[in-house]
Amino acid sequence: MQLAKVEHRLKPGSKAQHYIADVIGELEGPTIIAVAGIHGNEATGIGAIKRVIEEIEPIKSKLKGRFLGLKGNIPALAAGVRFVNEDMNRLWTTSILDKIRRTKSRELSSIDRVEVKKMLQILDPIVLDSNDEEVIYVDLHTFSGSGGLFTITPDDERHIEIISKLGVPRILGIHYSLPGTSMEYVEDAGHIGFAFETGTHGSREAEDNAYAGLLVLLESVGMINKNDIPDFDIQHDYLMSRVSGYPSEVDFLYKHIIEDGDEFEMRPGFQNFDQVVKGDWLANDRNGKIRAQAGGYLLMPLYQKQGNDGFFIVRDCE
């Protein structure tokens, strides 16, 4: 009910409001697009992108390629909610995008669709029309639980080759169970797209992890030289310390889908990568106890009201 009140006074953002910065290096190189806040309650990535820009703006003459930082859902960010009418990160399928492009903003069925339309006005010329230049799209997210950081990575060689250089755990195949994420749009266009889940919503650590991860990514694809970034080695070592002890690559096994009226409630105390066995009591809904349907590592236990993914279970790759 509270949401309806929030929604009433929210207006879609302008195209200009989506830009954090667009840093174009003087040397040839890939384009990295970093997006934060496609879920409006996940704003920490914005601070991380700003810190990266502070580092690279002064060395533009040596920068190889382009770094574009964008904000996702402007009205949801303003209200601190995941989305306004519908999840902005489930709308990027080919057919919905086509409809959004063909429809005037004021005739779109949700505020979140208007936000997608504004993003497409920025992204389409880069993602769809670039002449074979490498585009790497990083979608920064945070989670409502706690524990670790990880990437959600398409299961193909090109993606794994680039994303593995980050050294952050890779969750393979989970995106097949999350249709319509913005990484799908980038991947369909033949580019590299992945989600980077950096920590708990609003935490300093989530911002630090995103900042360190972005720096390591820029260095690993040759956009920056680590000698030009004074604290590069510190950030690299910090990132490695944050991921030690976690599996480097796991496969998606299943997710618990929350349906309207379920009254889903995760039991307290679960963290990412907690090991569970089949039958473990993980959550409750109006019909009773929800038990793990298989053993593996628990991922993204949901400790907030908005969202339809209760938790995921992943397992070591075979």
Which positions lie near Zn ion, rule CB under 5 A? Answer: 39, 42, 141
Q: Cβ 114 to Zn ion, closest distance in Å?
A: 19
Q: How far is CA 67 from CA 32, 115, 235, in A?
A: 5, 21, 19
Asked if 90 and 183 touch (Cβ cutoff 8 Å), the reply is no
Which is nearer to Zn ion, 23 or 77 (by Cβ)?
Answer: 77
At 233, list the tokens.
């080695």
Q: Cβ 83 to Zn ion, closest distance in Å?
A: 10
Q: Cβ 39 to Zn ion, closest distance in Å?
A: 4
Q: SS3 of 77, please? A: helix
Which is nearer to Zn ion, 42 or 219 (by Cβ)?
Answer: 42
Q: How far is CA 63 from CA 30, 31, 88, 165, in A?
A: 10, 11, 32, 19
Rounded to whole angstroms, the Cα distance separating 202 from 204 reads 7
Which is nearer to Zn ion, 39 or 256 (by Cβ)?
Answer: 39
Please compute, for residue 177, the number of CA atoms within 13 A of its CA located in the half-sphere on the CB side: 19
Residue 297 β-bridge partners: 275, 314
Q: Exposed e or buried b for every residue in 250-266, given b needs 16+ CB within 10 A?
A: bbbbebbebeeebebeb
Q: Cβ 141 to Zn ion, closest distance in Å?
A: 4
At 194, list the tokens.
């992945």
Q: How many angstroms from the chain centroid is the CA of residue 12?
A: 21
Q: Cβ 140 to Zn ion, closest distance in Å?
A: 9
Which is nearer to Zn ion, 42 or 115 (by Cβ)?
Answer: 42
Which is nearer to Zn ion, 39 or 255 (by Cβ)?
Answer: 39
Which is nearer to Zn ion, 151 or 235 (by Cβ)?
Answer: 151
Q: Cβ 164 to Zn ion, closest distance in Å?
A: 22
